[in-house]
């Protein structure tokens, strides 16, 4: 029997509850399709950090390299300053494993009500390919002046140079004469590389072909952030030339938000830089019925690449431990994991079961207007898998 090693980082808040249901469903389907999942659990998250001071370590990353996939819940803890866990755990994983594709399907399932009037299942069904390793996520930036400077005495020399640079840039741009001591400013730099664009865009075009879609829409803000997204646009045009069978278009991100609400049926495959991809996929989640329904895959498509599957929602701390969170996003992410490790039939079976439960509409969590518990949704999906046989 084929065995797979699946690393599990359930994380914080509702993460452990939704991952518990995901594992339950994946276990059930593995029995049907005759393979074995070996779960290797990791404690990383807010609690572990507060107890041990540890985020993602080199040693853990090396261990994870030997897994077939990573199944991730969510991280984020109100007791920890924003960014520490997000960067130190989630982004560390995406970057270390070079998971440069963040694939996020936006699909309204039958039986789920979209908040958009008169939009039904066949109207909302597209794939967002979010670049996952560049842009404003690279962590380059700093603060100059104010409290931050006092706290960072050690870095003063570097900050002086940065300050000079910023002063010059501001002077050039706005003709301002900034008084060094009086100012406090922060800056964040986004990096876009040709290689980074090319590989994720190729993935998007190939995905369009593979899934029988014939349009790829690119998202940017090349009218303002002209350097980075100027390059993004240039490379998109070049890559598109290799796919004459696929129609293309550019969308400014602000207009994209408007079109996603007005005409979601227009979209087939969307390719977006990291930050805009993050933002438009929460919007995408909402038009497909809510964050509790939206899955994501962080993919390294190269041979031997380790990929990671997670719901796109966060730790929703207010629902932690209450057994009310919707586990469908996590279960659907589990289905994406199965497809990635080569168990396509099992993956399809999970998707069919999710759809059957939603269509029937009897077992739904609160976010979908029902009163079912997290665990009851998991059970219903397991039953549907057994019935599907
Ligand atoms: P969130 O996604 O955790 O929750 C926003 C709201 O969406 C919730 O309050 C809830 O109303 C709803 N929601 C989300 N998931 C749900 C589910 N499964 N079932 C029912 N309702 C659900 O976003 P946030 O409140 O902005 O962030 C909370 C924490 O999570 C922060 O620390 C943030 O950094 C982190 N975060 C982590 C990830 C991740 O681990 N991938 C993603 C997003 C946010
Ligand atoms: C997501 C989250 C993350 C992101 C955060 C928690 C780092 O919002 O997965 O969508 O911005 O990518
Ligand atoms: Mn997000």
Cα–chain center distance at 76:
14
Closest CA to 70 of 331, 298, 293, 342: 298
CA 16 / ligand 2 centre spacing (Å):
17
Is the CA virtual torsion 299, 303, 306, 309 positive or negative? Answer: positive
Q: Which residue's CA is minimally distant from atom 5 of ligand 2?
A: 86
CA 8 / ligand 1 centre spacing (Å):
19
Query: Is pLDDT at 176 greater than 70 in this prediction?
Result: no
Q: What would the pLDDT profile of 76-131 be if each residue is shown by its tens digit?
A: 999 999 999 999 999 999 999 999 999 999 999 999 999 999 999 999 999 999 99
Q: Cα–Cα–Cα angle for 351, 353, 358, nearest 5°?
A: 95
Pocket test residue of 44, 89, 188, 278 for ligand 2, highest count of atoms within 8 A of CB: 278
Last-in-domain residue among 260, 288, 316: 288
Cα gap 125→77, rounded to integer Å: 32
Cβ(379) to ligand 2 under 6 A?
Answer: no
Distances (CA, A) of 306 to 15, 71, 119, 320: 21, 11, 36, 29
For residue 303 the two structure tokens come to: 């041979």
Cβ(315) to ligand 1 under 6 A?
Answer: yes
Q: Place 184 in a pLDDT band, splitting at 50, 70 and 90.
A: confident
Q: Are residues 226 and 126 in the same domain?
A: yes
Cβ(296) to ligand 1 under 6 A?
Answer: no
Q: Are residues 256 and 153 in the same domain?
A: no
**Range of the structural domain that residue 246 is part of:** 114-134+192-288
Q: Which ligand is nearest to the CA of 368?
A: 1
Query: Is pLDDT at 166 greater than 90 in this prediction?
Result: no
Q: Which ligand 2 atom minimizes the distance to the CA of 74?
A: 6
Q: Are residues 129 and 240 in the same domain?
A: yes
Q: Place 141 in a pLDDT band, splitting at 50, 70 and 90.
A: confident
Last-in-domain residue among 270, 288, 306: 288
Q: Which ligand 1 atom minimizes the distance to the CA of 329?
A: 18
Q: Are residues 260 and 130 in the same domain?
A: yes
Q: Which ligand is nearest to the CA of 139?
A: 2
Domain CATH for 203? 3.40.50
> Integer distance in angstroms from the first to the last C-alpha of the chain?
20
Last-in-domain residue among 266, 288, 310: 288
Q: Are residues 275 and 298 in the same domain?
A: no
3-state secondary structure of 307: coil
Q: Place 133 in a pLDDT band, splitting at 50, 70 and 90.
A: very high
Q: Cα–Cα–Cα angle for 184, 188, 189, nearest 5°?
A: 140
What helix, strand, coil percent values describe the chain, rounded to 5?
50, 20, 30
Cβ(19) to ligand 1 under 6 A?
Answer: no
Q: Which ligand is nearest to the CA of 135?
A: 2
Q: Are residues 346 and 330 in the same domain?
A: yes
Residue scoring higher pLDDT (178 or 260): 260
Domain CATH for 301? 3.40.718.10
Cα gap 1→24, rounded to integer Å: 19
Cβ(86) to ligand 2 under 6 A?
Answer: yes
Q: Which ligand is nearest to the CA of 279?
A: 3
CA 331 / ligand 2 centre spacing (Å):
18
CA 327 / ligand 3 centre spacing (Å):
17
Q: What would the pLDDT profile of 303-317 be if each residue is shown by its tens digit?
A: 999 999 999 999 999
Query: Is pLDDT at 183 greater than 70 in this prediction?
Result: no
Cα gap 356→142, rounded to integer Å: 50
Q: Which ligand 2 atom minimizes the distance to the CA of 87?
A: 7
Q: Which ligand is nearest to the CA of 75?
A: 1
Distances (CA, A) of 53 to 1, 49, 50: 40, 5, 6
Q: Are residues 310 and 359 in the same domain?
A: yes
In the chain, the number of structural domains is 3
Q: What is the pLDDT of residue 77?
A: 98
- In degrees to the nearest 10, what's the CA dihedral of 240, 246, 251, 256? -140
Q: Which residue's CA is minimally distant from atom 40 of ligand 1?
A: 74
Closest CA to 113 of 385, 386, 364: 364
CA 244 / ligand 2 centre spacing (Å):
33
Query: Is pLDDT at 349 greater than 90 in this prediction?
Result: yes
Q: Are residues 12 and 99 in the same domain?
A: yes
Q: Are residues 368 and 319 in the same domain?
A: yes
Q: What is the pLDDT of residue 291?
A: 98
Q: What would the pLDDT profile of 18-49 be if each residue is shown by its tens digit?
A: 999 999 999 999 999 999 999 999 999 999 99
Query: Is pLDDT at 281 greater than 60 in this prediction?
Result: yes
Q: What would the pLDDT profile of 220-239 be if each residue is shown by its tens digit?
A: 999 999 999 999 999 999 99
Pocket test residue of 86, 105, 296 for ligand 2, highest count of atoms within 8 A of CB: 86
Cα gap 369→29, rounded to integer Å: 28
Query: Is pLDDT at 175 greater than 90 in this prediction?
Result: no
CA 315 / ligand 3 centre spacing (Å):
11
Cα gap 381→59, rounded to integer Å: 36
Q: Place 149 in a pLDDT band, splitting at 50, 70 and 90.
A: low
Q: Which ligand 1 atom minimizes the distance to the CA of 316?
A: 3
Q: Are residues 318 and 276 in the same domain?
A: no
> CB of 109 within 8 A of CB of 126?
no
Is the CA virtual torsion 199, 332, 356, 120 positive or negative? Answer: negative
Q: What is the pLDDT of residue 182?
A: 43
Question: What is the maximal distance between C-alpha atoms in the chain?
Answer: 73
Average pLDDT over residues 135-140: 94
User: Which DSSP letter does residue 133 get?
Assistant: S
Q: Are residues 97 and 166 in the same domain?
A: no
Q: Are residues 55 and 14 in the same domain?
A: yes
For residue 69 the two structure tokens come to: 């996939």
Using a pLDDT cut of 90, give the percent of the chain over it.
Answer: 86
């Amino acid at each position: 029997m084929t065995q797979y090693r699946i690393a599990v980082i359930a994380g914080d808040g509702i993460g452990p509850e939704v991952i518990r249901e995901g594992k339950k469903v994946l276990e059930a389907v593995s029995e049907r399709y005759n393979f074995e999942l070996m779960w290797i659990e990791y404690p990383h998250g807010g609690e572990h950090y507060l107890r041990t001071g540890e985020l993602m370590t080199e040693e853990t990353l090396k261990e994870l390299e030997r897994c077939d996939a990573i199944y991730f819940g969510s991280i984020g803890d109100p007791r920890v300053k924003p960014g520490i866990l997000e960067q130190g755990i989630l982004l560390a994983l995406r970057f270390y494993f070079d998971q440069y594709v963040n694939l996020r399907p936006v699909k309204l399932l039958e039986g789920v009500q979209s908040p958009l009037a008169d939009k039904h299942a066949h109207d909302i069904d597209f794939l967002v390919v979010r670049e996952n390793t560049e842009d404003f996520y690279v962590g380059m930036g700093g603060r100059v002046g104010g409290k931050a400077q006092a706290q960072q005495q050690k870095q003063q020399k570097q900050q002086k140079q940065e300050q000079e640079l910023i002063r010059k840039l501001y002077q050039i741009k706005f003709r301002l004469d900034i008084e060094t001591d009086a100012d406090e400013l922060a800056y964040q730099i986004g990096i876009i590389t040709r290689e980074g664009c090319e590989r994720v865009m190729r993935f998007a075009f190939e995905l369009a072909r593979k899934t029988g879609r014939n349009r790829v829409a690119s998202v940017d803000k090349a009218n303002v952030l002209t350097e980075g997204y100027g390059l993004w646009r240039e490379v998109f045009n070049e890559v598109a030339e290799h796919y004459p069978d696929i129609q293309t278009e550019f969308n400014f991100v602000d207009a994209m938000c408007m079109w996603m609400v007005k005409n979601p049926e227009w979209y087939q495959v969307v390719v977006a830089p990291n930050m805009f991809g993050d933002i438009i996929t929460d919007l995408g989640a909402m038009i497909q019925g809510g964050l509790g329904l939206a899955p994501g895959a962080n993919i390294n498509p190269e041979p031997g690449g380790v990929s990671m599957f997670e719901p796109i929602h966060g730790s929703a701390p207010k629902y932690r431990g209450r057994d009310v969170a919707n586990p469908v996003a996590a279960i659907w992410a589990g289905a994406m994991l199965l497809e990635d490790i080569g168990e396509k039939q099992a993956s399809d079976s999970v998707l069919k079961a999710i759809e059957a439960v939603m269509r029937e509409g009897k077992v739904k969590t609160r976010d979908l207007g029902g009163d079912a518990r997290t665990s009851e949704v998991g059970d219903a999906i397991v039953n549907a898998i057994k019935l599907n046989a």
